[in-house]
């Protein structure tokens, strides 16, 4: 751990020596930084002789992939051996890399700093990405406007919740149809284009809840689970929207890292405070990964 920390610090110092600003992205717990015009996940490995080995969880890879102008940097035992690869390139090659049931990918680079792929002598030539510091200072291309990391992670959590709901057979809805998750619009992931109207709720509040799962009934759709994602805005607005479901037997969730704030705010809703459930964003990621892995296992067993 000490060597890993030292390598990350050397990477950040090297960036600053080149006149590139580097700051941690607080919304993510991994070694993710805003470096110049890019967002960068930094992974480290010591020199083990024949190869450099890195573990990379798909959840972390997916989160950086959803950030604007994003890269993964693999420090191969030395800051002089920095492979700065666009996250889109890495994600596209993950299906050719072995992983375990927990979505942990076994990423190997040869002594020549080529990425080892599944299959006899298959490798990705990474020469253009070695010490490619210039890529971090170039402006992002193809984006009309920059999306803050907090907004991107908000979209990631929404996308994961929608996919979990779809996997479990619920009808899903979210109001932010133009936002994207893994380059797919949320509007293309949900199964309900419009929020169902409920007799005993304020529709203006209801249709603004971040994600909802409905069960289809003979009389229409019935709310089962509702989620508000509060990454940077506090938890006041989310509570207010979820409270419109007080007349329904639906479970309201607040997804936030601010547990203390969560417990402070529920006191403002004494009649329904025991119904609110607090979930941290990492737990959503773990559940999402487990649900996706279960699908793969079912396919393997033809179930």
The answer to whether residues 72 and 190 belong to one domain is no
67 and 206 inside one domain: no
Q: Are residues 65 and 206 in the same domain?
A: no
Q: Domain boundary at 108, 137, 166, which? A: 137
pLDDT number for residue 143:
53
The answer on 33 and 74 residing in a single domain is yes
In terms of Cβ atoms closer than 10 Å to its own Cβ (0-12, 13-18, 19+), residue 192 is: middle
Round the average pLDDT of the chain to a whole number and report it: 92
What is the CATH number for 93? 3.40.1350.10
Contacts of 280 (CB under 8 A, 6+ apart): 255, 256, 257, 259
Q: What is the pLDDT of residue 30?
A: 85
Confirm whether 144 is domain-assigned: no
180 with 128, same domain: the answer is no
Over residues 232-271, the pLDDT tens digits come to: 766 678 999 999 999 999 999 999 998 888 999 999 888 8
pTM for this one?
A: 0.93
pLDDT of residue 244: 96
If asked whether residues 22 and 67 sit together in one domain, one would say yes
The answer on 286 and 252 residing in a single domain is: yes
pLDDT given at position 295: 84
pLDDT band at 106 (very low <50, low <70, confident <90, very high): very high
Count of domains for the chain: 2
- Per-residue pLDDT at 234: 63
How are strands ordered across the β-sheet holding 82-86? 22-24, 32-35, 38-45, 70-76, 82-86
When mean pLDDT is compared across 163-167, 191-195, 272-276, the lowest value belongs to: 272-276
pLDDT of amino acid 119: 87
Residues 110 and 199 in one domain: no
Domain range spanning residue 75? 2-137
| Residues 216, 261 within the same domain | yes
Nearest of 124, 146, 100, 125 to residue 293 by alpha carbon: 100
Q: Are residue 67 and residue 204 in the same domain, yes or no?
A: no
């Amino acid at each position: 751990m000490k060597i890993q920390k030292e390598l990350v610090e050397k990477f950040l110092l090297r960036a600053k020596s080149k006149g590139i600003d580097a700051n941690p992205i607080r919304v993510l717990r991994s070694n993710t930084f805003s470096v110049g015009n890019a967002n960068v996940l930094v992974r480290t490995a010591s020199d083990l002789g024949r190869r450099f080995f890195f573990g990379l969880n798909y959840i972390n890879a997916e989160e950086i992939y959803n950030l604007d102008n994003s890269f993964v940097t693999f420090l191969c035992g030395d800051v002089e051996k920095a492979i700065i690869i666009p996250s889109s390139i890495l994600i596209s090659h993950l299906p050719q890399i072995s992983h375990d049931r927990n979505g942990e990918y076994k990423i190997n680079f040869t002594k020549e700093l080529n990425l080892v792929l599944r299959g006899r002598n298959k490798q990705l030539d990474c020469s253009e990405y070695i010490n490619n510091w210039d890529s971090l200072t170039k402006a992002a291309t193809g984006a009309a406007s920059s999306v803050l990391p907090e907004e991107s992670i908000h979209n990631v959590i929404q996308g994961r919740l929608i996919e979990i709901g779809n996997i479990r057979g619920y009808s899903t809805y979210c109001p932010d149809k133009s936002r994207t998750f893994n380059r797919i619009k949320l509007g293309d992931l949900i199964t309900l284009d419009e929020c169902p109207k409920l007799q005993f709720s304020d529709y203006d509040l209801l249709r603004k809840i971040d994600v909802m799962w409905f069960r289809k009934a003979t009389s229409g759709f019935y709310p089962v689970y509702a989620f508000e994602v509060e990454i940077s805005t506090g938890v006041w607005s989310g509570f207010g929207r979820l409270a419109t479901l007080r007349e329904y037997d639906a479970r309201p969730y607040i997804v936030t890292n601010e547990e203390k704030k969560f417990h402070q705010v529920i006191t403002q809703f004494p009649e329904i405070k025991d119904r609110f459930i607090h979930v941290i964003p990492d737990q959503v990621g773990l559940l999402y990964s487990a649900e996706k892995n279960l699908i793969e296992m079912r396919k393997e067993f033809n179930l």
